[in-house]
Amino acid sequence: MTQKTPQIFAPLDPAPRLIMGPGPVNVYPSVLQSLSAPMLGQFDPQFTAYMNEVMVLYRQVFQTKNQWALLVNGTARAGIEACMTSMITPGDKVLILNFGRFGYLLKEIAERCSADVMMIDTEWGTVFEPGAVRDAIKKHRPRIVATVHGDTSTTMAQPLDQIGGICREFDALLYVDATATMGGMSIDVDGWQLDAVSSGLQKCMSGPPGSSPITFNERVAEVVSKRRHIEEGIQPDGYAAAQGQRIQSNYFDLAMLMDYWGPDRLNHHTESTSMLYAARECARVILSEGLENTFARHRQSSTALRAGLQAMGLKLFGDPNHRMDNVTGVLIPNVVDGDKVRSELLQDFGIEIGTSFGALHGLVWRIGTMGYVCQKANVLRCLTSLDAVLRRNGYNAPAGAGIEAAYGAYDG
């Protein structure tokens, strides 16, 4: 038998990029360093101490006193699935508040959980008023309400400060996907009465995708515990399953994750060691800067970017009162090919910005100012480079107007 020569590639050497799309974004240097820390066994006392530290750190990031603030191994979608799969019993009424692409994701996951799904919609680029949410909850009487905090597909942020109270009024649980806002905008879990929230590392937390921080309160823990099941092979003596229907997923079973992250340390899966290190460092960096300082940095950079874009004659997308503080939608001028501009910006200047989805694809660019990327130098570099590419493609903005406006926003 003739032995084939193995196909071997060169070592990884990615080209340097400034990633200013809607996520992922460039990673904090200390987070990259944390990924190279030595491996530990999942029940090594040093490692379980790190798990406990992660819980302490993320309680602060989520602004909660919840006992449960932990990681789900997987990208941000893993956290969404863990919360919804564990909270939804087949047949439950679930109301989705949809104002962008990711509302449809919540709808699909709820349908896969065999929920009785209802959805209310608002035009992309707008958000829901509390009265409309209250009317929908009163009409449908859902067991669970699910929504996104900041939907990067539309660059809009849904105010949540009143919705939690409305859900409590009608005894509904509120789940929130905060993937795009955690670390860049305030998520006051306790103050806003949010029952369960999930997120990811790859946006304002400036970490690698692959770990999903979540938190949930005792209202959710009670619901989940009624469905508690321990898989055969690790059941302790005297174990009796709860009376509720077993959670549909093994991997995303919050009841078993509670047993794993809790003091019993009951084996569930092998914790993603390096990702736990990264998640720990992401939270440590942000809390060291201070949450309010971090939020202010995101607001200032977005304000400067938007001032520059508008001075260049570009129009911004969506309701100006409800734009996210960390990603900006820009209407693509009719005289240019939006994909060509993005390609040249990447190839000639090493800067990545995003397009959008669905009805907005080809109509809107999305420019992110998130996490480690959210710095004055990067905003100015993006504006200068975009101006150059636009000129090469037939769009002429007032000379130097974008940079001067951005400087004015920073200096003011």
In eight-state DSSP terms, residue 234 is: S
Quote the mean pLDDT of the chain. Answer: 96
Q: Give ∠ CA 176-82-372 in degrees, rounded to 5.
A: 60
Domain residue extents for the chain: 29-287, 291-411
- 3 pLDDT more than 80: no
Phi, psi for 345 (deg, rounded to 5)? -60, -40
Q: What is the mean pLDDT of residues 284-301?
A: 98
Name the residue among 301, 213, 310, 319 with its Cα closest to residue 257: 213
When pLDDT is cut at 50, 70 and 90, the band that residue 147 belongs to is very high
Q: Give ∠ CA 12-36-57 in degrees, rounded to 5.
A: 130
Cβ of 45: how many Cβ atoms within 10 Å? 9
Q: What is the mean pLDDT of residues 390-394?
A: 96
CA distance 305 to 376: 9
- Say if residues 61 and 286 touch (Cβ distance below 8 Å): yes
DSSP per-residue string spanning 87-112: HPPTT-EEEEEESSHHHHHHHHHHHH
- 1 pLDDT more than 80: no
State the pLDDT at residue 282: 98
Strand pairing partners for 71? 213
CA distance 311 to 321: 19
When pLDDT is cut at 50, 70 and 90, the band that residue 343 belongs to is very high
Residue type at position 40 = L
State the pLDDT at residue 171: 98
State the pLDDT at residue 192: 98
Q: For the whole prediction, is pTM greater than 0.85?
A: yes
374-383 pLDDT, tens digit each: 999 999 999 9
Q: What is the mean pLDDT of residues 145-170?
A: 98
Measured on CA atoms in the order 192, 193, 194, 199, is the torsion positive or negative? Answer: positive
- 359 pLDDT more than 90: no
CA distance 355 to 286: 28
DSSP per-residue string spanning 14-52: PPP-EE-SSS--PPPHHHHHHTTSPP--TT-HHHHHHHH
**Higher-pLDDT residue of 114, 412:** 114
- Say if residues 127 and 154 touch (Cβ distance below 8 Å): no
24 preceded by a cis bond (ω within 30 of 0)? yes
Q: What is the mean pLDDT of residues 259-288?
A: 96
CATH topology of domain 29-287: Aspartate Aminotransferase; domain 2 (3.40.640)
- Say if residues 230 and 239 touch (Cβ distance below 8 Å): yes
Name the residue among 74, 72, 91, 95 with its Cα closest to residue 83: 72
Name the residue among 53, 134, 66, 28 with its Cα closest to residue 370: 28
* Residue 276 neighbours by CB under 8 Å, 6+ apart: 47, 50, 51, 54, 71, 211
- 166 pLDDT more than 90: yes
When pLDDT is cut at 50, 70 and 90, the band that residue 211 belongs to is very high
Helix, strand, or coil (residue 86):
helix
DSSP per-residue string spanning 298-335: HHHHHHHHHHHHHHTTPPBPS-GGGB-SSEEEEEPPTT
CA distance 251 to 269: 8
- Say if residues 308 and 405 touch (Cβ distance below 8 Å): yes
Name the residue among 80, 49, 83 with its Cα closest to residue 66: 83
Task: Tell me which architecture the domain covering 291-411 has in CATH.
Answer: Alpha-Beta Complex (3.90)
CA distance 3 to 52: 51
- Say if residues 249 and 85 touch (Cβ distance below 8 Å): yes
- 2 pLDDT more than 80: no
